[in-house]
Structures are given as C-alpha cells and as structure tokens.
Structure 1
Amino acid sequence: RSGRPMPGKTYIVVTRSEDYKPARDNARVAHSIAQAIELANSLGEEEILAIGGGGIFSEILPFTDRIYLSEIQAEVEGDSYFPKLNKKEWHETSRTHYEKDEKNEYDFDLIVLERS
C-alpha cells in the first residue's frame, strides 16, 4: 500500500459531510453509494473499486459483481469487518498467495470472487 494516487484514476469519496473538499484534483465527492455509482457511470468508469470500512462495503455489496479480497494470515484486533458473504451467491475464481516481506508484515492471499 503506497498511499500515492494512482495515475489516470478518478477518486470518488463518499462522505456525509456537506463541507468536505477533496485534496486531489482527480477526486470527486458523493454523499451516498447510489450517487457515487451514478457519478462513476457519468464519468465513463467501467470498474468501481470500493475502499472503505464495513459500512461502505455493506452498502455497495448489492451492486457488486466482483470482489478483490485480501485475506491476511494473522489474528488482529479490529472494529470494522467485511460483511459476511452468502456462499451460494459468490464463487472464488482465483487465489494468489504472497509471503510476508519488507513491505508486508504478514503472509496474505489475494482472492477474486465473482457473483454466481
């Protein structure tokens, strides 16, 4: 995770704050998931990647056809969780394992799930 902007990407920040002003030129603001999807479509985006907390993930899941899921091989404390998936609705299409290294403290799997 570099923390740097990805070239050529448009960021849409979903926030309840009416006063929020994005710091990046390539960022837009939406006040709901529906508004964010509408904005992405109007900008010609073909794929929307959601980064968020549990609330954002739960709200966008009904509109999702593919999930890129990082599964960290560690037990850590946290207060935000990805929503439970209905295993009848989703199937795994790929899984790539990565060993811990100088950038990643833990082993992890990158999993791609597709809606059935």
Structure 2
Amino acid sequence: MGKITIIAAVADNNALGKDNDLLWHLPDDFKRFKQLTTGHKIIMGRKTFESFPKPLPNRHHIIITRDKGYHVEHPNCTIVHSLSDALALVENEDLSFVIGGGEIYSLAMPYCDILEVTRVHGDYEADAFFPEIDPSNWKLVREEYHGKDEKHAVDFTYRTFIKKEN
C-alpha cells in the first residue's frame, strides 16, 4: 500500500469553507496544491468535485457520493460510494491524495500517512471544518511561514505532519 496524504488549507479555527466555496484566495497555496497532486489520484467528496469549474488536469479524480445515480462524463473521473471503495482504487499507487471536504477528511484521517496542511492565520465563519489534528497521533516535521503580500491578503504556514508509529 502506498502513502495516502491529506492535503487541505485550514483556518486557525479549523474552517475549510462555506457554501461549497473557499474562504480565502492564496495563489501560492494553489501552486503548491497543483505541484504536489499533479500526476496522482485524488479522492474527494461530490460537493468538493462540484466546486471545481471542470476536472483538474493531470489527476485522476475519485469522487465519493451516496447518490447511486450520480454520473460524470469524463475519462479522469471515477465514482465510488464509500471511502473503502476509494481506498481500494489507490492501494497500488505510490502516493495519492485526499482533497476534501470536511466529512471525507474526518473519515480518511485514520487511513492517512501524511498531512499537508496550509494553516491560514485567522478565524473564519464556515460550514465545513477540518478534524482536530491529535498530537499523540501526528508529528509536525516541516513548517514554512508565508507572510501577507500583494497577492495574499492573509498570512499562512505550510505544515507537514507524519503519522506516529504507535
């Protein structure tokens, strides 16, 4: 089994989004997301998928939905009806990513090896939240601060966690 990484941009209060949209615009975080996920399978919930204008290029989308009639006409999209079905599709991959939303992150946390979290410094009103990162299960191994600038209205920190061996 390869490594499974959760990747997310998360506010200080664990806010992820509201009304199926992001709460901030961070071009450098988008670039990092693209750089890390390109060429890999990405697992997401239906609402996360539907928040994209079109499927993301150079990535195979595995979309989890309870709706048995849900269908997407695109060669880089596969529909499944459970997280276990999604994980079965990536078991032979070296690396794959879970990209949201809140419910999928909560379900996937026990199965993931790495967390790539962009911590957005601020508290936001939201309807989707990231699960708490339990320090007894996760070790922070890298941190890189990015201050506000002309393209970023808020400062943020890239944080990489690896699952502790229990």
Question: For residues 24-63 of structure 1, what are the structure 2 equivalents within 5 Å?
Answer: 24-41=74-91, 44-63=92-111
Could you tell me which runs of 5 or more consecutive residues in structure 1 were left unpaired when the two chains were aligned. Answer: none
Partner amino acid, structure 1, of 2:112? T
**What is the percent sequence identity of the aligned residues?**
26
User: What's the CA shift for 1:6?
Assistant: 3.6
Q: TM-score, normalised by structure 2?
A: 0.61
Partner amino acid, structure 2, of 1:74? G
User: What's the CA shift for 1:101?
Assistant: 4.0
Could you tell me which runs of 5 or more consecutive residues in structure 2 were left unpaired when the two chains were aligned. Answer: 1-29, 32-51
Question: For residues 1-116 of structure 1, what are the structure 2 equivalents within 5 Å?
Answer: 1=30, 5-7=56-58, 9-41=59-91, 44-116=92-164
User: What's the CA shift for 1:85?
Assistant: 2.3
Separation in 2 of the partners of 1:23 and 1:95?
Answer: 39
Q: Which has the higher contact order (CA 8 A, sep 6+)?
A: 2
Q: Residues 103 and 20 (structure 1 numbering): CA distance in 2 closer, same or farther, change over 3 Å? A: farther
User: What's the CA shift for 1:23?
Assistant: 4.5
Q: TM-score, normalised by structure 1?
A: 0.85
